[in-house]
Amino acid sequence: MRKYGIENFTIEQIDEADNLEELGKLEYKYIEQYNSRDPNIGYNLSAGGETNQLDSNGRAKKKKKEVIQIREIYYMGELRCKECWELYKTKISYSAFQKIWEGTTWKSIMPEIYTNEMKILHSKQKSNPGSKNGNSIYSDKEVLTIRRYYANHSLQETYNIYGNKSKSIDGFRNIIKRSYKHIPIYNKKDKKWFLNNNVIDINEYNPVSTISESGE
């Protein structure tokens, strides 16, 4: 990314894992499947699966990979710092995560993403979550429509229909499940709609009255 510029790469999800061990196996599988260790085809320098390594340098390797993931999410511009931290909070304190997020630690990793434009974007997101932020790519109405569709379809199907504005399926997933917290979120495991951690009847949801009650 440093050599060719991050703007010449796209970040797309091709699979998902429930834990690091499974993630390592999937990484190995796809590097092998796409022969991406061949310099004429891809950019991988190893066979992958390093998340399972327990050598003396294993922790450092894992940490570096996670820092890269965090920086990639930062560059997508669709999550705030605290929302992203929710994905890593069992591994790192918020204050330490914030330093990684803002680029004050691990400065050698992807420093090119900390442009003035990105800094301004994230500065605005701190105080203006969801579509109240002028940089949001979806309106509240669009997010509610997307979430209603997702309630009866897979993530991939929903992304195929509504993901044209999103930079990646990862960012789109966050729009469906994490960001825009002032809009009802559908939990497929519980098969229920939630708003501010309370179960609601989506058919009785009135966005106008919700805004009025909040004083906005």
59 domain residue, yes or no: no
- What does the chain come to in residues? 216
Verify that 95 and 160 share a domain, yes or no: no
Amino acid identity of 123?
S
In the DSSP assignment, the letter for residue 114 is -
- Per-residue confidence (pLDDT) for residue 206, from 0 to 100: 80
Verify that 147 and 205 share a domain, yes or no: yes
Verify that 203 and 141 share a domain, yes or no: yes
Phi-psi domain of 103 (left: phi exceeds 0; alpha: psi -120 through 50; beta: other) = left
What are the residues whose beta carbons fall under 8 Å from the beta carbon of 173, sequence distance 6 or more? 13, 155
Final residue belonging to a domain, choices 60, 95, 127: 127
Helical (H) or strand (E) element with 200:
strand 198-200
17 domain residue, yes or no: yes
pLDDT in tens, the chain (216 residues): 566 666 666 667 777 766 566 777 788 788 888 887 777 777 776 666 554 443 344 556 668 888 888 888 888 776 788 888 888 888 888 888 999 999 998 888 889 989 888 888 777 666 555 544 444 578 888 899 999 999 999 999 999 998 887 767 877 888 898 778 889 999 998 999 999 889 999 998 887 544 333 333
Verify that 119 and 137 share a domain, yes or no: no
